[in-house]
């Protein structure tokens, strides 16, 4: 590892000229000897906005104890969070992806201004994790991420396990008349039984798993449930681990490399994770200045099997994986199979292989959550990158659990999610349709909204396998069905998705990795000649800033 540099915090606190700075710090409790020790930032995304983050204050206190026990001086500060689940289905979702950039900016701003010697960050919601890691990559000071952990399963009205996706799909069932309002209410009340992030292999658990495989969090960090003593112990040990990283000058850019990104995405593929991993890993790579493209995702997808029978494409949730041995047990199985780079460094000070040395493989004892390598859920990656005349720069589809991976049908085009939601509620979408929702990209949305309300309602109406869906927006990690998101270029900047007309024949072929609009080049040129670039939907505030700066989804939709 690099030679240990002088402590950054001395820029703020060292020497007679910094007496005023030290005076301010004494006002928050600093003692004389604190100025002789490393000063580290503790970024807390605690809030009571969402169950994902409502318990983080408890974990932060444990992390503070760990830092102090290892000789550091912790300084706590906050950052905002947005709940995807609560923001879903309305204009509030425009702020979701934008919050990733805001979180990264907040952590960079505070830790940069204070010249912190290290950073310990606690997050639970979908955008917390990539936002924190993006800031770590920018700052490149020793850093450790702590995931708040997954929620426990709820118990539905018929004794079944339920989670947040259950209630989104129940809305579709209610619209279809297959359940009544009383049962809908019971599922609503049971779906989120306490603190923790959504239980399936949705975006939060996907990114927590990717970050653990990348080496920026402790082993078991992704699978320790939110409400356990195991998560408390992990938070304490994370504080100690951070101080070891400070002492040894182990920094994020030592850890975030092409090889560790391959480990992260390999783990996402094996677990059946969210399409949002494509967007977020691309953003993390960009902040770490590591070359990474959509072709890298597709290269790995061609050889990594989908093994875990986890929701939304399967039966189980993260708590079941925790009982089956946890995330390290699956990493060990992948390492044994030669699918991971075991020599990648991690925040423990050991390599990934050394961390897993005494961990038994998930196949060491009977369990049903992770399928045998010889009998996978799907023999290739469940996330595929599609290209074609509808998405010259690429699009992303998740095919976990799908029986049908190809559809050709008439386009039903909607400019925005709301118009599509009305059509679904009025039962205007029928089997064989290809639904197109445009104007929801990074610039057009702005903010690239997720469409779980749409896909949940379609699934609830029994159309999940029989219609296709294309959008320049995003899908929740809880989405399943023949759906294609991240279409690039997006409609708002003149991408071909802007030129589709109602009734045009469209093919989604996930096996061939193509998406085709069956309209002649001459007709498309004619339509383009009459297309007028629309103005930004929002002209002030954070959404306007994002729309003006946002890169294409094919580049991670970052602002930097």
Residue carrying the six token digits 């990594």: 304
Does residue 489 have a cis bond before it (omega within 30 degrees)? Answer: yes
Which of 59, 36, 55, 360 is CA-nearest to residue 237? 59
Which of 529, 409, 391 is CA-nearest to residue 472? 391
In order, the DSSP letters of 36-70 are GS-EEEEEE---SSSTTTTTHHHHHHHHHHHHHHT
As a residue count, the chain comes to 560
- Mapping DSSP to helix (H, G, I), strand (E, B) and coil, where does residue 157 land? coil
Q: For residues 447 and 444, what is the distance between their CA atoms, to the nearest angstrom?
A: 8
Q: For residues 187 and 172, what is the distance between their CA atoms, to the nearest angstrom?
A: 13
Q: Say if CB 222 and CB 230 are below 8 A apart.
A: no
Residues with a catalytic annotation lie at 476
Dihedral sign for Cα 211, 215, 217, 221, please.
positive
Q: For residues 437 and 420, what is the distance between their CA atoms, to the nearest angstrom?
A: 7
In order, the DSSP letters of 417-471 are HHHHHHHHHTT---TT-EEEEES-STTTTTS--B-HHHHHHHHHTT-TTT-EEEE
Which of 474, 553, 76 is CA-nearest to residue 283? 553
Q: Say if CB 273 and CB 169 are below 8 A apart.
A: no
């Amino acid at each position: 590892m690099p030679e240990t540099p002088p402590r950054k915090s001395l820029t703020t606190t060292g020497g007679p000229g910094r007496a005023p700075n030290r005076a301010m710090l004494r006002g928050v409790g600093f003692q004389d000897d604190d100025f002789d020790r490393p000063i580290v930032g503790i970024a807390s995304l605690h809030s009571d906005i969402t169950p994902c983050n409502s318990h983080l204050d408890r974990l932060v206190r444990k992390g503070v104890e760990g830092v102090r026990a290892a000789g550091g001086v912790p300084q706590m500060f906050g950052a905002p969070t947005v709940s995807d689940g609560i923001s879903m289905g309305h204009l509030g979702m425009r702020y979701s992806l934008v919050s990733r950039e805001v979180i990264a900016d907040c952590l960079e701003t505070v830790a940069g201004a204070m010249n912190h010697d290290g950073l310990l960050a606690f997050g639970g919601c979908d955008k917390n994790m990539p936002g924190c890691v993006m800031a770590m990559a920018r700052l490149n000071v020793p850093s450790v991420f702590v995931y708040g952990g997954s929620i426990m399963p709820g118990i539905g009205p018929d004794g079944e396990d339920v989670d947040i996706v259950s209630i989104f799909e129940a809305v579709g069932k209610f619209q279809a008349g297959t359940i009544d309002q009383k049962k809908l209410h019971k599922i609503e009340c049971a779906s989120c039984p306490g603190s923790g992030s959504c239980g399936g292999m949705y975006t939060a658990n996907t990114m927590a798993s990717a970050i653990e495989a990348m080496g920026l969090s402790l082993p078991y960090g992704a699978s320790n449930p939110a409400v356990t003593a195991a998560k408390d112990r992990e938070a304490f040990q994370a504080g100690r681990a951070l101080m070891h990283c400070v002492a040894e000058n182990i920094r994020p850019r030592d850890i975030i490399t092409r090889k560790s990104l391959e480990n992260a995405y390999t783990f996402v593929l094996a677990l059946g994770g969210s399409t949002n991993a494509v967007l977020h890993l691309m953003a993390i790579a960009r902040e770490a200045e590591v070359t990474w493209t959509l072709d890298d995702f597709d290269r790995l997808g061609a050889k990594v099997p989908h093994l875990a029978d986890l929701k939304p494409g399967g039966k189980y949730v993260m708590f079941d994986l925790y009982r089956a041995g946890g995330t390290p047990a699956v990493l060990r199985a992948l390492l044994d199979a030669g699918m991971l780079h075991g020599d990648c460094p991690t925040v423990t000070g050991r390599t990934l292989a050394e961390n897993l040395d005494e961990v038994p493989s998930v196949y060491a004892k009977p369990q049903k959550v992770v399928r045998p390598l010889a009998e996978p859920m799907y023999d290739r990656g469940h996330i595929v990158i599609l290209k074609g005349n509808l998405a010259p720069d690429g699009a992303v589809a998740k095919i976990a659990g799908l029986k049908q991976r190809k559809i050709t049908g008439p386009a039903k085009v909607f400019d925005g999610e709301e118009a599509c939601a009305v059509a679904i509620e009025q039962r205007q979408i029928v089997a064989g349709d290809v639904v197109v929702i445009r104007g929801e990209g990074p610039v057009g949305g702005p903010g690239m909204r997720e469409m779980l309300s749409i896909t949940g309602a379609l699934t609830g109406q029994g159309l999940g396998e029989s219609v296709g869906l294309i959008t320049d927006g995003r899908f929740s990690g809880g989405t399943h069905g023949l759906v294609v998101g991240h279409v690039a270029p997006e409609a708002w900047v003149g991408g071909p998705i802007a030129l589709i007309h109602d009734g045009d024949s469209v093919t989604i072929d996930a096996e061939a990795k193509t998406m085709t609009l069956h309209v002649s080049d001459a007709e498309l040129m004619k339509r383009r000649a009459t297309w007028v670039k629309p103005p930004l939907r929002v002209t002030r505030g954070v959404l306007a800033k994002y729309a003006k700066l946002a890169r294409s989804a094919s580049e991670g939709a970052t602002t930097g």
